[in-house]
Structure 1
Amino acid sequence: MVDQAGSISRRSLLAAGATVGAGVFVGTSLVGADNHTDDNGSGSRHYRVTVTNLTRGQPFTPPAVAAHRPNVEVFAVGESANEPTRQIAENGNLQPLLDLVANTNSIRGAAVGNAPLVPESDPGDTGNPYYTTLHLSADASATHLTFISMLIATNDGIVGLDTVELPERVNESRTYYANGYDVGTEQNTERFADLVPPAKTLILGGEPEGTGESNEAIAEDGVIQPHPGIEGVGNLPPEVYDWREPAAVVQVERLAELQREFQTALSGTSEVPPVETDASGEATFAVDQHDEELSYEITVSDIEHVVAAHIHCGAADENGPVGVTLYDGDPVSEDGVLTEGTATEPDAENGCGWETIDDVLSAMRGGRAYVNVHTEANPGGEIRGQIH
């Protein structure tokens, strides 16, 4: 198997596993084909897919997108759900879908998000994002895209796109609106005991309640159809958990190539909240052709007693956890190069959930990572910049 830029091997992802029912969110990009040369021998096409949660009270599992040939249907409205769709809809279990990607040659590329998507207001105060950007590559035979994610606070609901066209030209962009669907495999009891545990915590907070296993006692034998919404028959108040369609917006862009060089200016005004300081700096990054080594250099000026510098995950208007340590040592106050080197993996057990450099790159390419330089005077960060 040849790994494509911005992806890791399917075997690596399958070994990691991915279930929401067990409270484990694993997300990264993965390749879905053994051959990444298109019909003309000119290489892969690259896509950026941005998924945004539009609901007021429905969290999504980490979204999964697949680029595939037109003969593939990951799920189909009006037909019975296959096992991968059933497992996502009932339990948030991505593993059967990943198995499908691994064993279906017509799926030429795929990617999975690295966190659940909550409503923009984040009613459960989780710190999770309401949108994410995924990157995937596929050859020219992949002409269509499918998107699927569980509506977590439902018995068997999904939000998705059923086989829509990929952009054909470089720099072409297409926007799709995705609705919610009832997969028809489980009765809509709307009881926390029958839902996956995060259904409660991601919106209301508090202790998890529920199950990550299908319950045959409430099984149904139906077909995928538009979701009726939350009716308030169990523990889910409609005024909290219901939504208006569309549930999500999906923007798909065809890129000329995957970004390999990154930079950002560092300043106190970029801190959250802003820090008044004369200090400034710059951070530059470059990744090798195999997406395995990330070289970096951070320069600073007019700054005193620097104690640490990191790559954090998070948008420009929020503070996120540390993902990669770039400097951690005795306080330094010299102008010039603060630190330089090469990173081959993120920090162990980091708060971003990054497991590989590919995960770091996915966040950087999606605008979800920033550099923060910490000092004795400002331990939370004195100068910062969003990586782009």
Structure 2
Amino acid sequence: MLKYTKLAIVVFGAISLVACDDNNESSALTSEADSALEYQVTVSNLTNAQPFSPLTVLLHDTGDVWNIGDSASDALESLAESGDNSTLMSSSFVLGAETNGAVLPYGQSATVTISTETESNYLSLVTMLVNTNDAFSGLNKVDISQLAVNQSLQYSPGAYDAGTEGNSEAAGTIPGPADGGEGFNASRDDLNIVTMHSGIISSDDGLVGSVLNFEHKFDNPVMAVTITRIK
């Protein structure tokens, strides 16, 4: 009887130790999840007939997506000419990236949720106005380091010109539904600097060969953005 009693005590002790390890692991996972920071970015398309390419939301501590007066990066060129955000989302300075994965029609809104386990100082947002040659909009390097839970920031961005493709509005040069033409082209035939966009001219204003009309015109701002820290 004594031998069986000792064995029972040893086995029970082992079971107890395993149970304690499970609890510790569960607590660690819970603590890690609780420490994550989470943000919601809601974008409303304010244009008349300019769908937005899939929204791109980035978290980073360094780097800029663009600067007025500087040449666009290859990643920004790809997005501004074709709506392709894959290169930008994998850029070396990016700590976290999310997208809604779908075109945002004019007059509608979409929300992207992004989280990070290590605090990031900046949030950027980019999307293409797809019935253009290389127009884009968004936010570059918004400081979110002091944003408290349930606190929001609101912005009304205008449209930018990537300066990588001339605004010919010609057939075959615009990837949106107004034309269904070419997207990204590596050659650059414009100023090669980022500027504020001067707007659509269109065939209705006498631009010969333009596939765009007055419906595709836009005024600034082209979008309304709300950034909310939810965790």
* Same topology, TM > 0.5: yes
2:171 matched to 1:180? Answer: no
Q: 2:173 aligns with which of 173, 190, 194?
A: 194
Matched, 1:212 2:183: yes
- Give the strand-richer structure, 1 or 2: 1
Counterpart mapping for 1:258-297 below 5 A: none
Separation in 2, partners of 1:47, 1:116: 21
Which of the pair has more CA radius of gyration?
2
Moved over 4 A (4+): none
How many percent identity over aligned positions?
29
* Shift in CA distance, 213/49, structure 1 to aligned 2, threshold 3 Å: closer
**Alpha-carbon deviation of 1:75?**
1.7
Pair 1:251 & 2:221 matched: no
**Structure 1 residues 211, 168: closer, same or farther in 2, change over 3 A?**
same
TM-score, normalised with respect to structure 2: 0.77
Deviation string, structure 1 residues 47-92 (Cα, Å, up to 9, x no partner): 01101101112111011011211x2212222211001100011121
Q: Distance in 2 between matches of 1:209 and 1:115?
A: 17
RMSD (CA atoms): 2.2
Structure scoring higher RCO (CA < 8 A, sep ≥ 6) equals: 2
Shift of 1:221: 4.1
C-alpha contact (below 8 Å) 1:192/1:199 kept by paired residues: no
Instruction: Measure how far apart 1:182 and its partner are.
Output: 0.4
Residue of structure 2 aligned with 1:58, choices 50, 57, 70: 50
Cα distance in structure 1, aligned partners of 2:33 and 2:45:
37
Assess if the C-alpha contact under 8 Å between 1:67 and 1:144 holds in 2.
yes
Structure 2: how far apart are the matches of 1:165 and 1:58? 28
Q: Which one has the bigger helix percentage? A: 2
Q: How far apart in 2 are the matches of 1:199 and 1:244?
A: 20
The DSSP-based 3-state class of the residue aligned with 1:199 is coil
Letter in 2 for 1:115: A
Verify the 8 A CA contact 2:157 2:224 in the aligned structure 1. yes
The normalised TM-score by structure 1 is 0.47
| 73, 93, 98: which one aligns with 2:89 | 98
| Corresponding residue to 2:192 among 218, 222, 225 | 222
What is the distance in 2 between the residues matched to 1:158 and 1:112? 15
Measure how far apart 1:170 and its partner are.
Answer: 0.7
Q: Structure 1 stretches of 5 or more lacking a match?
A: 1-39, 121-129, 201-207, 257-388
Distance 2:112 2:142 in 1: 17
TM-fit CA distance, 1:155:
0.6
Describe the shift of the 1:92–1:41 C-alpha distance in structure 2 as closer, same or farther (beyond 3 A): closer
CA distance in 2, matches of 1:219, 1:190: 14
